[in-house]
Amino acid sequence: MKTAFLFSGQGSQYCGMGKELCSHYPAAAAVFKQASWTLGYDIEGICFADNDRLNLTEYTQPAIVTTSLAILAVLQEYGFDAAMAAGLSLGEYSALAFGGA
């Protein structure tokens, strides 16, 4: 049986997403740190805190992609891989990143 990774789109965000993952897995924390540097703002602060900014599209989309890529980094670090990936709407970008695009 082949495995597929499925990535969610906008609307799947919630305050605190990725926080526990980053506290337990350095690979996930590294993705968040790189994303913050690339974006030029603290994506961890937006994802981890209880705030309204997470529901603004300009922050929602980078937050979801960052969290998806952080989860992916942890899965790959532990040897999980997939034969294919798919994403719903915004999730297509995470699926493309998984595929090496």
Helix, strand, coil abundance in the chain, percent, nearest 5: 55, 10, 35
Q: Could you write out the three-class secondary structure of 9-23?
A: CCCCCCCCCCHHHHH
Q: Where are the domains of the chain?
A: 4-98
Which residues are CB-contacts of 68 (< 8 A; sequence separation ≥ 6)?
Answer: 7, 8, 91, 94
The CATH fold of domain 4-98? Malonyl-Coenzyme A Acyl Carrier Protein; domain 2 (3.40.366)
* pLDDT per residue of the chain (101 residues) written in tens, 0 to 9: 999 999 999 999 999 999 999 999 999 999 999 999 999 999 999 999 998 999 999 999 999 999 999 999 999 999 999 999 999 999 999 999 999 98
Give the separation between CA 42 and CA 29, rounded to whole angstroms.
Answer: 12
What is the structure's pLDDT at 57?
A: 96
pLDDT at 101: 87
Tell me the Cα Rg of the chain. 13
